[in-house]
Amino acid sequence: MANLAVKIGSLVLRNPVMPASGCFAIEYQEALNLNNLGALVLKSVSPKIRSGNPTPRVAETHGGMLNSIGIPSNGLDHYIEHILPAYTLFDSPVIASVSADTVEEFALACQRLSLTNISAIEANISCPNLEADGMAFAMSAATTYQVVSAIRRYTDHPLWVKLTPNAANIALIAKAAQEAGADAIVMGNTILGMAIDIHSRMPKLGNVMGGLSGPAIKPIALRLVHQCYRAVRIPIIGCGGISSAADVIEFMLAGASAIQVGTASFLDPCVIQKIIDGVDSYCEQMNINDVRDLIGQVVQDPQLTDRWLRFAQQSG
């Protein structure tokens, strides 16, 4: 049996497979042994009480799903008192995901969460920044550095920073997160999209636009993980369209140290355990003793690699 354990900064996970924030809840214990998962990543919490976006919030698309949930929240007090405790009863590390409107709100929320029994904080900076006219923090290197460095000043907890695939130069943004003190990068989130009902001629989402997830975005997510892997020294956690063990292997070869499963869990609540078993079987079949030996091992033409590096240096 292969060693499936991976390290994300100072945190050791028993295997590289975990749920994505927003696609997992305590009710999954009816379908999965939560002690077998690499980590338990909770839905993003907002310090402020918010009701979320107008309905309908979800629409099926070819090869994926659109959602515009809006991160509804009962606030940080409710989250710490009523949500977190149930997850901390399991052996798997608990990762608290945080979303906030301003730099100060992010920093103060992470400070409060650091006093709880969690293993790491995932700062979801792919959410709108009210101090920049609603543009996501992770859309620019400057605002990424600003918010991550502020959080870092307020907490010593392991800090994962969740980036957005909608940014133009992901390598620069990943570098900014690393320089500001991130321990790992979660790459990434949904891609902005839209769908229209041709009979009513109305958008299928109440908020008009939403985030596209599922198999349709996997090639984009894989490319972004590889670009981040080339740009930074900290671990990358891949996310986007992963639904099988083969997808996990692909993401690890591209540079991911671990992965998160999102939309696939809506189709099959047991899929995460199946993926873990599949990764183990792949390692056994390929005589791989340690799953970490896969990280970043995609084979490339040296000439192409040299040209890519020169381009990255020029554009960075």
Give the chain's length: 316
Which tokens sit at 7? 């390290």
CB 117 within 8 Å of CB 84: yes
Centroid of chain to Cα 211: 14
The CA–CA distances, whole Å, from 226 to 41, 220, 223, 239, 311 equal: 22, 10, 5, 12, 15
CB 12 within 8 Å of CB 300: no
The CA–CA distances, whole Å, from 234 to 175, 231, 284 equal: 9, 9, 28
User: Measured at the alpha carbon of residue 89, what is the angle toward residues 239 and 27, in degrees to the nearest 5?
Assistant: 60
Between CA 191 and CA 167 the distance in angstroms is 10
Q: Which residues are catalytic?
A: 127
Between CA 85 and CA 216 the distance in angstroms is 35
User: Measured at the alpha carbon of residue 183, what is the angle toward residues 167 and 250, in degrees to the nearest 5?
Assistant: 65
User: Measured at the alpha carbon of residue 118, what is the angle toward residues 28 and 272, in degrees to the nearest 5?
Assistant: 30
CB 4 within 8 Å of CB 291: yes
β partners of residue 13: 6
Which helix H or strand E contains 194, and what residues bound it? strand 191-194
Which tokens sit at 118? 């969690």
